[in-house]
Copies of this chain bind each other. A is one copy, B any other.
Amino acid sequence: MTTLTNTRIVLAARPQGRPKPSDFRVESVAIGEPGEGELLLQILYLSLDPYMRGRMNAASSYAKPVEIDGVMEGGTVARVVKSRHAGFAEGDIVLSHSGWQSFAVSDGVGLRKLDPAAAPVTTALGVLGMPGFTAYAGLLTIGRPKAGETVVVAAASGAVGSAVGQIARIKGARAVGIAGGAEKCAFVRQELGFDAVVDHRADNFAEQLKAACPEGIDVYFENVGGAVWDAVFPLLNEFARVPVCGLIAQYNIPVDTGADRLPVLMQQVLHRSLTIRGFIQREFVDQRPAFYREMAEWIASGRVRYREDIVDGIANAPQAFLGLLEGKNFGKLIVRVAG
């Protein structure tokens, strides 16, 4: 067999503030043969997600940072091209966490077989994968929307936000989305069926948000932070719940030099009996079977719709990722690596 060449993207430097192309490096290296009990994966699709920005920092987080010169981390859909593992056969399609590269050797731990007949395999990276589960678990376990309540989510055309709003509606709540630009707003309102949508680029964004939430906000699913938080905060109702799964707007800002908003936050947490709760989806692993079952039903019945933004070629992953941090993607951002 000819030696395969693995194209991989490694972390060249830790970004100061906003990452730039030179923080990444594309490498071509020979990929080894799988040993006994191992298998060789060809990556078909790579998921790009906001959490990856955190992995580029040395600072302690809930997960280990990517090492300098290490392959960037990420969820992937892959085809088994060679197997010396009893549990997998050549041609199997699996969900893996192989990172930003075109091939990987795996010992099979943590792989999940996918059925391409059941759903497009890319959904395992989005609506039927980690982002969809983040929406499902965070909204239902922490947000607990009741019928008639108002649920607000930003990045509403994205992988997590689109699922949050649609699940909220299934539970009888009113879904208000926040998105950037007329095209995304139209998609959120018309295609995803949110009850209202507000463009965060509008000059009077805070006013528009207030008008879109005449009875205040009962659940704010926090995945952006920054200016959106400032507009949401005054509208939170007594007993409002704020699941926090991401802060994309502040990932690139090392230090804020404005006035201290903490005392007012805590005062209002007290006065309005607010709940603010950070989470990572893996905390709720026991809910995954219910998620796969329910979400597949909702997709099949058309109650949950989704959009994917697919970029071609692993070498384009860094540029696509930089665009993601600026909201340039439109739907779940995925890199087609092969196939």
Partner-B contacts on A (CB < 8 A): 54, 60-62, 222, 225, 229, 238-239, 244-247, 250, 253, 255-263, 265-280, 283
Contacts and interface: CB of A to CB of B under 8 A. Distances in A.
A246 B259 CA distance: 22
Contacts of A273: 62, 277-280, 283
Given A257-B259, A258-B260, A259-B257, A277 B278 contact: no
Nearest to A222: B266
A260 B263 contact: no
A165 to B, nearest CB: 21
A246 B270 contact: yes
22 contacts: A60-B271, A62-B272, A225-B263, A229-B266, A239-B283, A244-B266, A244-B270, A247-B270, A250-B267, A255-B263, A257-B259, A257-B260, A260-B261, A262-B262, A262-B265, A271-B278, A272-B278, A273-B279, A273-B280, A275-B276, A276-B277, A277-B277
A64 to B, nearest CB: 12
Nearest to A270: B278
B259 A263 contact: no
Contacts of A266: 222, 225, 229, 244, 247, 250
The 3 A-B residue pairs whose C-beta atoms are closest, nearest first, are A269-B278, A261-B262, A270-B278
A198 to B, nearest CB: 21
Contacts of A278: 268-275
A156 B225 CA distance: 35
A55 B244 CA distance: 31
Contact of A265 (B62, B265, B283): B265
B250 A256 contact: no
A283 B270 CA distance: 12
Nearest to A261: B262
A60 B238 CA distance: 12
A238 B274 CA distance: 20
A247 B276 contact: no
Given A222-B266, A225-B263, 19 more contacts: A62-B271, A62-B272, A62-B273, A225-B266, A244-B269, A246-B270, A247-B266, A247-B267, A256-B260, A256-B262, A260-B261, A269-B277, A273-B278, A273-B279, A273-B280, A273-B283, A274-B276, A275-B275, A277-B277
